[in-house]
Structure formats: C-alpha cells, structure tokens
Structure 1
C-alpha cells in the first residue's frame, strides 16, 4: 500500500522579473487541478519565511484555499504549518485550519512543525531551546480550540489564553488528521508515542526507510499514548531523492527537469547548515549552479527520484512501496511548468492506477490489523488536564491598557456619533410628520 502525493515549496530562482511570483502561483493552481484529475492523494504545501529563492510558500492556507475551489478529491495538506506562537497563534491556527476544512469539504491534513532555520527562528525572535515546548503547547491549544465549545483556557510557558469559543469548528470531526515533521529517527519515535502521523524525511532510499516504518509502528503499539482526540497512525516519506518529472523517455524527463532536481537538498544545506545568507543579496540559485558544475550528481536524475519514463518511475515507486510507508510525497523542484503538466498527466494515465488500486485494498486490511492495537493505545490515553469551564465567567465592556489606562476612546466616540445620528434622524422624521399634519389641516 502507498499513496502518492505532491509537495510544493514554490522555489523561485533568481533573476526575478515582474510577474514571476504571480506566474508561480498561477502555474501551481493549474498543476494542482491537473493532479486532482490524475488521482494524486494529497497536495502538501510547506510554510517557510524569509527563505528567498528556496521557498516562496509563506501563506499555505491562502494557496490551499484557492486550490480547494478548483479541485474535488485531492486532499490539502499543511506540510507543515509552524506552530511556535510568535509565528502563528494557536487560536489563529485553529480558525484557519477549520475554515479551510469547510471550504474544501473536509479535505485538510494538519501537518505541524517547530521550525528550525536561523532565518525563521531568528526572524521571529524565537530561542531554539524553546521551540519543542512551543510546539507541544501550541498543538494542545490549537486542537482544543478546534474541539472545545468553549475552549476553557490555558496557562503555559509560551501560551496563555483565556476561555473563548473559537469558531468555526472543523468539518472533519473531531478535527483533521494531525502530523508532525520528523527530520530525525527520534522525531519519528516521538510521533508514534503521541499517536500522530510522521512526516518523515527519507534521504537514504527505501531500504533504510523500511526500518523507520517498522520502528514507527512498533513504538506506536508499545508506547503510543494519544495527545489528540483522533489518532493518526501513519508515516509518509519526503526527501531530496523524491523529485518528480515523468516524460516519454528518461532523456526527455531529464531535459525538462534541467538542473533543478537537487535544488531542494541544496537549499536545506544553504539555509539550515552550511550557508551564510545576506537578505535580498545572496544568490542561492547561482551558488547551486556553481556547485552543480563542480559535481553534476547534485542535479539528480533517474534512480534519484521519480524521474524518467513511466517504466523507470514505476519501478522507482515500487521500491518505496515495498518499504511499507503509507504515503510518498514527490517534490516539485524548479522545472518546466509545461513539462510538469504533461508529467502529471502521464502519472495519472500510466503510473498511479496500479498504486491506487493496491492502496485501497491495503488500507482496508490495515484498519482490521490495527484495530486491536488502536484499542491498546487508546487505553493509555491520559486524562485531560484542561480546566473546567467557569460558567460564571463572562467578558465585556471597554478594553483598558496597563494600569487600567483607557485605550479604546474610538469606541465610545463612534457610539456617540451613531447615537447623535439616530437622534437627528428621529427629529427629522418627527419634523416631517408634523409638516404633513400641518399641511393637511
């Protein structure tokens, strides 16, 4: 069994011309619409900030909302949304995820993450030592905001929020499937322990991935204790070796992909490990092109992604299917848009059908196989520590600042103006009636 999905970072190499960003998103919408018709399982969209050239996907809910209106079946995944409160407040997360769930008729996958680049953590003034705790608190609060009516409040190290009824609630009940980004084996284990899905980076091929998949399900059965109302025991694979470009022949696929196939991996190295970046000045694509000249294998090709003819890609995907992974996400690195549209069409016609058929049967078998395991995991669920709702609690009145200083003078001024207008209108109406009465007599 294995679902096959697409992953967007929206890379945009320099040099930039007017209209390039506009075209980037319009092309993306065309491709997602084609992917829906082709039978891809999910389109996953990352959220990153300040990673110019490498990732222009800074507001995934906006793109996914647009895509929801041009598609019918494909699921819409945050891959991932950053949960640290300085980036996204948990109540706002709940509101946006729930709204998208309604717009899409219940197709949201809620992927979450901590953030890890200096560009992002530093840009939002987040101490890297705090990001795991921030994620844990924000996950709890955002899910509680989606499911409690009302949310009864939370006082943590990084999140403090009073009772409020966060609306709307998601269409999927009790909430969309929850995932977490896993860059290390220990993160995969953590996802299994929390009984949520693992968005697992896989850079070493399908053979090593099998151990990670087996470890996830072993940990889920032995140690899993749900932290969300709905469990999501699934693991998927994403990684630099999973770029996609399919054509009639291997040579044609390579031609349409160009040198862009390794840009995802290079961007990770640049922004997360080895690069020094000057905002608005450093040319990431230029650095990548120079690196490819020195080592052409950085650009990837058949055998290092779903790149090549349908036969080549089919065999590549079967190798990952054999690992037991539940889903594989194919990256769309810088490439030809026209080539990608044809690639999606070929995938839908010549590659996906056999995987979709096998996956449907395997999902049913997995549900039967996991039923007793899920019952065992459910028994480990810890009692909720959410405070009881104080039925006497209410809010209202005018906002005040520190020390009780009044800070909302515009409200009474506006109300006074409204009341003055009402009085004036009432007087005009009275004068008009009296004038009519006088004329009649």
Structure 2
C-alpha cells in the first residue's frame, strides 16, 4: 500500500425501525448491500462484513452478501471481518473467496480470525478444548493455500493433503489478513505466516496498540518475510453534530455493553463510561470534524496502512447510511489533510 486506506466494516448487527423494534434478518442483509453501494459511491477503499451465528447479528455467510455487493459496486474492495477460521475449513475458505475475487474483478480479501464469539464451535461440531490447535493448524494451511501452488500438509484437525491443487485460481492472488485482538503471540504468528495484521481496537486508547505494530515489524524482519500491511478498526458513528451522534448511539451502546457483560462476566457500564470512550477511548462518535480529529490522532500514533470504521451501531438504517456518507465525503478528506 502506497498510502493510507479508509474502509468500513460491520458485524451485520440487527438495526431497528422508527419504533425501536428490531428489523428481521433478511431486511438487515439487504440493507447491508445498500450500505456497501453508498460506501462505493463515497469513494471508500474497503467494505468488510463479519461472520456470526447468533440472533443479534444477521450475517453467517459474509461471502454470499459480498457477492451481491460485488454485482452492485465498481471499485471498493470487499472482505470478511472476520471469517471464523477455527470452525471452518481452510480449503473451502480459499475456494469461496477465490470465487468472490473472480466475480468482483479481483477485489476480494480474507480477514481470518478466531471470532468474537464461540457459537460456531458447537454449531459445527468443534470442541472448545481444541481452541488453540484449531486456529494454529488451519491458519498454517490457509497460508499455504494462498500461494496457489500444490500443497502438502498434515495436521490433527482435518484430512491431510498431498501435492494438492485448489481451484478456482485467482488472477492476482488474494490479499489476506489475520484479525487480532491484542495477543503478542497472535501478532508473531501472523508475521510468521506472511499475512497482514488487522488489529481490533474496541476499547481504550489506540496508543496502547503501538507496541503490537512495532512487534509485528520486528517479527517480520526476524522471520525474513516481506513486510505486510497493518490495519485497525474501531466502532463509531458520524452525524451532523456531536450532540446528535451521541444521542443516536448512547442507549444502544449501553444496552450492548450490558448484554455482552452478562455473557462474559464483565461489570455493567458505569456512569460516564460512554463519554470516556468517546473522549479518550476507542469510540469514534461525533460530527465529521470530531471524528476526523480522532482518526488523525490515531494515525499519528499507530503506523498503519488502513483505518476501518466499524459503523454498525444499533440505530436505524437511515442513520447508518448518513454516517457512511459523512465518513466518506467529509471525514476522510479532512483526515487526509490533517495527516499531510
């Protein structure tokens, strides 16, 4: 990458109607396709969709939705954020994204990761006790498949391959990343396999991730691999004013944090947590000027090649689309001016 890219990604979170009722999954999925069209028209570089298998997220097959997006867009790159590799088959992952790459004219990317949730493990018959070995072995195989040469591989999590070719082939190869939440071991593993590093910054100041970017560079040098790009993503929403943006996001953010806390044993959000995450944490909520200043500050402390705005706050679809427009047409140009 010769300059910083600016993208969007979404977990396919269920949105609401004017009365606050959750929209059905089919409508949410159709809306995501429309969002990507707006992002393409706004000049953004990337649109990513995450894989989940639970009721509050609509997308379990990002590649299918991205194929629909490919048919309606012209230039924006398309990828998963993330593909839950631990509970998938690397051969099938490569085949699906190579197919997406073909129908999109070479715009497909893979972001492989462990995933934010564990529902896919029992759903597809995997034991959580194998959490580490599943990801390690499957990432190793995926990295080999990405070279598009005959693969010989053996492990404990799937059948071995001997001098095996996988199809379809691509025209220019697939760009691939590993989604990492902040584990040094994961950063080093990503460097060893020669893949891009995709850092999920969902809480706290961005500066605390600078050591991971430095570690990634050092590890690549030690492994003697070609330097790969680094991306970050953080959640947020852009509106015409700071007050409007905060009002739109506040209740849904508190409800989401409370729900996640109950599932994972976190304490409920305290008074002032929402405001602190906006002012000094990883929540990019506000007017175009406010969000642009915060993104520019992040890019000044982190040496990254792409910033992705995770825009799927639990609001109405019209608010999402307006946020995408403001991000592409106002925020990104301002950030480019600031960092220049």
The 5 Å alignment of 1:48-63 reads: 48-49=52-53, 51-53=54-56, 55-63=57-65
> SS where residue 322 of structure 1 aligns?
helix
Q: Which residue of 2 aligns with 1:422?
A: none
Q: In structure 1, list runs of 5 or more residues that go unmatched.
A: 276-287, 362-441
Q: Which residue of 2 aligns with 1:314?
A: 292
Kept in 2, the 8 Å contact 1:99–1:168? The answer is yes
Kept in 2, the 8 Å contact 1:182–1:198? The answer is yes
Aligned residues: 329
Q: Do the aligned partners of residues 270 and 129 (structure 1) sit closer, same or farther apart at CA in structure 2, a change above 3 Å counting?
A: same
> SS where residue 12 of structure 1 aligns?
coil
> SS where residue 36 of structure 2 aligns?
helix
Among residues 310, 317, 334, which one is paired with 1:337 in the alignment? 317
Q: Which residue of 2 aligns with 1:404?
A: none
Which deviates more, 316-325 or 138-147? Answer: 138-147
The 5 Å alignment of 1:23-34 reads: 23-34=27-38
Cα separation, 2, equivalents of 1:351 and 1:117: 31
Shift of 1:129: 4.1
Q: Which residue of 2 aligns with 1:172?
A: 172
Among residues 181, 184, 201, which one is paired with 1:183 in the alignment? 181
Q: Which structure would you say has the larger Rg?
A: 1
Kept in 1, the 8 Å contact 2:29–2:59? The answer is no
Shift of 1:266: 5.1
Kept in 2, the 8 Å contact 1:94–1:143? The answer is no
Q: Do the aligned partners of residues 251 and 261 (structure 1) sit closer, same or farther apart at CA in structure 2, a change above 3 Å counting?
A: same
Q: Which residue of 2 aligns with 1:8?
A: 10
Cα separation, 2, equivalents of 1:167 and 1:36: 29
Q: Which residue of 1 aligns with 2:79?
A: 77
> SS where residue 82 of structure 2 aligns?
strand
Q: Which residue of 2 aligns with 1:214?
A: 214
Shift of 1:66: 0.8
Q: Which residue of 1 aligns with 2:230?
A: 235
Among residues 215, 237, 241, which one is paired with 1:249 in the alignment? 241
Q: Which residue of 1 aligns with 2:159?
A: 160
What does the per-residue CA deviation read over 1:167-193, in whole Å, with 9 as the maximum and x for residues that have no partner?
A: 2112323xx122112122312233233
Q: Which residue of 2 aligns with 1:297?
A: 273
> SS where residue 81 of structure 2 aligns?
strand
Which deviates more, 262-271 or 310-319? Answer: 262-271
> SS where residue 94 of structure 1 aligns?
helix
Among residues 299, 306, 329, which one is paired with 1:349 in the alignment? 329
Q: Which residue of 1 aligns with 2:196?
A: 197
Shift of 1:140: 3.6
> SS where residue 168 of structure 2 aligns?
coil
Q: Do the aligned partners of residues 224 and 154 (structure 1) sit closer, same or farther apart at CA in structure 2, a change above 3 Å counting?
A: closer
Cα separation, 2, equivalents of 1:249 and 1:65: 35
Kept in 1, the 8 Å contact 2:11–2:81? The answer is no
What does the per-residue CA deviation read over 1:50-84, in whole Å, with 9 as the maximum and x for residues that have no partner?
A: x321x332111111111111112211122221223
Shift of 1:101: 0.6
Shift of 1:199: 1.6
Shift of 1:11: 1.7
> SS where residue 188 of structure 2 aligns?
helix
